[in-house]
């Protein structure tokens, strides 16, 4: 994080909400259901798998060296898992062959989730199983990996509470109304976040996870040519950024694999440049830039 005291406090606030999203899920393998959620704790595996964080850390550190995009890919995977039925790793479940019911990972909104995020969890889970078979949930491994990447990308290291259960139910139909869209207004974002027990400040803070990572042209192309049906570009985008993005993302056609950094100044660092970008009209996604243009979130 940036070295000022205000930056440190803001960063810690963001991170507190990253792991505050981790309410456990009741539907799980080899765990009886109850009406109350399991109590999470930092030392949940202290006796059953004391080397857990070192094992996961060996995977995340290697992945980050080989493919830095693994960081934002895993954090986005964590968010997409948590916002649909809680942090239960149900996004990792594959659709049953021949089934008409698609799993979460096959939902249209999850098709752009990068393989590096899934690979991180898969490799970490395999290593952990070799040392602590049948003990640690995939949900906890995903939460730990997300924290590791925050730290590896320049953010602080924070303790991860553990004890999440792996869910057995995974349905693509539950995804669309639980995941925010790139063109959401503040009203739409607030409605979704409120439904999760999160408030205005939580929305602003958690959006800071866009401090690194990339988005495909389809997520922002309407801002470049016809923002909200006006046939004009979004006036809240810096003309230089607009010109640059138009060179890569034509209004029609173009390469669907082209991506642009969500944080155009420091795309691989976990810092506060994301917020400064919004002040300078350098936000990539409409949902992000709206945070600075809306009087409720601008302060």
Pick out the residues of the known binding site for substrate.
180
Domain map (residue ranges) of the chain: 51-174, 186-293
Out of 17-31, 204-218, 268-282, pick the least confident. 17-31
User: Quick check: 143 pLDDT over 90?
Assistant: yes
- In the chain, what percentage of residues exceed pLDDT 90? 84
Pick out the residues of the known binding site for heme b.
210
Residue 123: CB partners within 8 Å, gap ≥ 6? 59, 63
Residue with more model confidence, 136 or 23:
136
Residue 35 to residue 25: CA distance in whole angstroms: 10
For 239-292, the pLDDT digits (tens) are: 999 999 999 999 998 888 899 999 999 999 999 999 999 999 999 999 999 999
Pick out the residues of the known binding site.
81, 84, 86, 88, 90, 104, 180, 210-211, 263, 266, 271
Identify the band that residue 26 occupies on the pLDDT scale cut at 50, 70 and 90.
Answer: very low
Identify the band that residue 13 occupies on the pLDDT scale cut at 50, 70 and 90.
Answer: very low
Q: Which CATH code is given to the segment(s) 51-174? A: 1.10.520.10
Identify the band that residue 38 occupies on the pLDDT scale cut at 50, 70 and 90.
Answer: confident
Cα-atom radius of gyration of the chain, to the nearest Å?
A: 19
**Catalytic residue chosen out of the listed positions 80, 151, 216, 272:** 80
Out of 19-28, 30-39, 115-124, 272-281, pick the least confident. 19-28
**Contact (Cβ atoms closer than 8 angstroms) between residue 120 and residue 68:** no
151 is catalytic: no
Q: What is the pLDDT of residue 36?
A: 58
User: Quick check: 221 pLDDT over 60?
Assistant: yes
Q: What is the pLDDT of residue 239?
A: 97
**Contact (Cβ atoms closer than 8 angstroms) between residue 136 and residue 52:** yes
Q: Nearest 5 degrees, angle CA 38-CA 41-CA 46? A: 115
Pick out the residues of the known binding site for Ca(2+).
81, 84, 86, 88, 90, 104, 211, 263, 266, 271
Q: Which CATH code is given to the segment(s) 186-293? A: 1.10.420.10
User: Quick check: 94 pLDDT over 90?
Assistant: yes
- In the chain, what percentage of residues exceed pLDDT 70? 88
CA distances from 140 to 44, 45, 278 (A): 10, 10, 33
User: Quick check: 32 pLDDT over 90?
Assistant: no
Tell me the three-class secondary structure of the chain, residue by residue.
Answer: CCCCHHHHHHHHHHHHHHHHCCCCCCCCCCCCCCCCCCCCECCCCCCCCCCHHHHHHHHHHHHHHHCCCHHHHHHHHHHHHHCCCCCCCHHHCCCCCCCCCCCHHHCHHHCCCCHHHHHHHHHHHHHHHHHCCCCCCHHHHHHHHHHHHHHHCCCCCCCCCECCCCCCCCCHHHCCCCCCCCCCCHHHHHHHHHHCCCCHHHHHHHHHHHHCCEEEHHHCHHHHHCHHHCCCCCCCCCHHHHHHHHHHCCCCCCCCCCEEECCCCCCCCCCCHHHHHHHCCCCCCHHHHHHHHCCCCCC
For 151-197, the pLDDT digits (tens) are: 999 998 999 999 999 999 999 999 999 999 999 999 999 999 999 99
User: Quick check: 9 pLDDT over 60?
Assistant: no
Average model confidence (pLDDT) for the chain?
A: 89
**Contact (Cβ atoms closer than 8 angstroms) between residue 225 and residue 251:** yes
């Amino acid at each position: 994080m940036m070295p000022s005291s205000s930056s440190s406090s803001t960063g810690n606030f963001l991170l507190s909400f990253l792991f505050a999203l981790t309410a456990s899920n009741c539907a799980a393998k080899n765990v009886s259901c109850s009406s109350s959620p399991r109590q999470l704790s930092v030392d949940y595996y202290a006796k059953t798998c004391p080397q857990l964080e070192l094992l996961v850390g060996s995977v995340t550190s290697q992945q980050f060296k080989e493919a830095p995009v693994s960081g934002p890919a895993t954090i986005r995977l964590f968010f997409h898992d948590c916002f649909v039925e809680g942090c239960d790793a149900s996004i990792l479940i594959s659709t049953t062959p021949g089934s008409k019911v698609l799993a979460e990972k096959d939902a249209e909104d999850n098709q752009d989730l990068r393989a590096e995020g899934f690979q991180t969890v898969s490799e970490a889970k395999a290593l952990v199983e070799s040392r602590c078979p049948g003990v640690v949930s995939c949900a906890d491994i995903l939460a730990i990996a997300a924290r590791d990447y925050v730290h590896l990308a320049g953010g602080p290291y924070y303790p991860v509470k553990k004890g999440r259960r792996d869910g057995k139910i995974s349905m693509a139909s539950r995804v669309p109304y639980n995941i925010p869209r790139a063109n959401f207004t503040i009203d739409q974002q607030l409605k979704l976040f409120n439904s999760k027990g999160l408030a205005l400040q939580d929305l602003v803070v958690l959006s800071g996870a866009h401090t690194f990572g990339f988005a495909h042209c389809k997520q922002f192309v309407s801002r470049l040519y016809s923002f909200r049906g006006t046939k004009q570009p979004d006036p809240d985008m810096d003309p230089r950024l607009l010109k640059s993005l138009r060179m890569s993302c034509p209004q029609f056609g173009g390469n669907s694999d082209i991506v642009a950094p969500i944080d155009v100044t420091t795309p691989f660092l976990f810092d506060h440049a994301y917020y400064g970008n919004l002040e300078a009209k350098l936000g990539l996604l409409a949902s992000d830039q709206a945070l600075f243009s809306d009087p409720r979130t601008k302060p």
